[in-house]
Amino acid sequence: MLKTRIRDKIAKHNISVTMLLCIPLIILFFLSFLVGRYPIAPYDVVITLVSKVIPINSTVPPSIETVIFQVRLPRILAAMLVGAALSIAGASFQGLFKNPLVAPDKLGVSAGAGFAAALAILLSLGTILIQVFSFFWWFTCRGTHLLYKQDFQGNFHFNSYFMRNCH
């Protein structure tokens, strides 16, 4: 009986925390439309977005619609997706190494990928090749480092890996 009440309170608390974290995201989503070189009034942003969902007559000039839908909305959505991807990557690092303090710079991921990107830029490779080159160099560095961190019997321990890797 007591455990079910505690579980219910935790479930309600998780929902309320999630809702509280979504509110700033929604506010910043709409405020992001107002920031830029071409000033747009909040009313114009709301009317333009609502006119795409609900069929109403919009008095907003086409140039404002173009700025909102061709420039700002893709950038806002891309920023949100990149932020989500970075948070997933950080959570996966923390889950893999079972350490909440783990970071890409501590594991050599940033240095390896950055070196490869700089080398690819010096070799005048295209943007896709820079990313591919960076990924494969990172992969090679991580594999070499993991082999180096094995003990003499060939065993590898994830729990002690991070502690041995902190210099």
Q: Mapped to the 3 state alphabet, what secondary structure does 20-76 carry?
A: HHHHHHHHHHHHHCCCCCCCCCHHHHHHHHHHHHCCCCCCCCHHHHHHHHHHHHHHH
Residue 138's pLDDT is what?
78
The answer to whether the CB of 155 falls within 8 A of the CB of 164 is no
Residue 44's pLDDT is what?
93
The answer to whether the CB of 132 falls within 8 A of the CB of 107 is no
Residue 166's pLDDT is what?
46
Residue 10: burial class (beta carbons within 10 Å; 0-12, 13-18, 19+)? exposed
Chain centroid to CA 68: how far?
23
**Alpha-carbon torsion, ordered 39, 41, 47, 49, to 10 deg:** 40
Residue 148's pLDDT is what?
64
C-alpha distances (whole Å) from 6 to each of 3, 13, 15, 20, 120 are 5, 10, 14, 21, 55
Instruction: Please provide the size of the chain in residues.
Output: 167
Residue 90's pLDDT is what?
82
Residue 112's pLDDT is what?
80
Does the reported pTM lie above 0.75? no
pLDDT single digits (tens) 12-45: 666 677 788 889 999 999 999 999 899 899 999 9
Per-residue pLDDT tens listing for the chain (167 residues):
556 666 666 666 666 777 888 899 999 999 999 998 998 999 999 999 999 899 888 888 999 999 999 999 999 999 999 999 888 888 887 787 677 777 766 666 777 888 889 999 999 888 899 989 888 887 787 777 666 666 555 565 554 554 454 44
